[in-house]
Amino acid sequence: MAVREIVELLDDLDGSAASETVEFAVDGVSYEIDLNEVHCGEFRNALAGYMSHGRKAGRNHAGGRSGAKASRGRSDDAKQARAFAVKHGLPVNKRGRVSEEIRQAWRANNPELARPAAEPLST
């Protein structure tokens, strides 16, 4: 008997279908949030004034992008890693951040699909 499980990325604000995972960092802490197109636009508009006066920094320690830049590739990785976890019976939330342990397990089993993990910043 075949089983097909579908993992759906949901907007963390209202539960609607999310279009991407947005990564940002504040005070040295990295965050990810799944948002639909409207909320992505609102998020970027809210930060636009700050971003236009700020300076771009290198990648932060969590491998995300600084500021409020989104990464569709990272979102695709999260979807695939989440599906991998569900398929293999690993504990994973239906929405929100996918743990680094699950991402590492997914990368190990799919090296041709996974983007390399970001290198830590030197201090």
Q: What is the 3-state secondary structure (H, E, C) of 97-116?
A: CCCHHHHHHHHHHCCCCCCC
Helices 100-109 and 72-87: angle between axes, nearest 10 degrees = 80
pLDDT of the residue at 41: 93
- pTM of the shown model: 0.46
pLDDT of the residue at 66: 42
pLDDT of the residue at 68: 45
pLDDT of the residue at 118: 52
Residue by residue, DSSP assigns 81-99 as HHHHHHHTT----SSSPPP
Bridge partners for 35 per DSSP = 20
Which residues, in sequence order, are CB contacts of 119 under 8 Å at separation 6+?
59
pLDDT in tens, 49-75: 988 888 888 765 444 444 444 444 556
The ranges of the chain with pLDDT < 70 are 59-76, 113-123
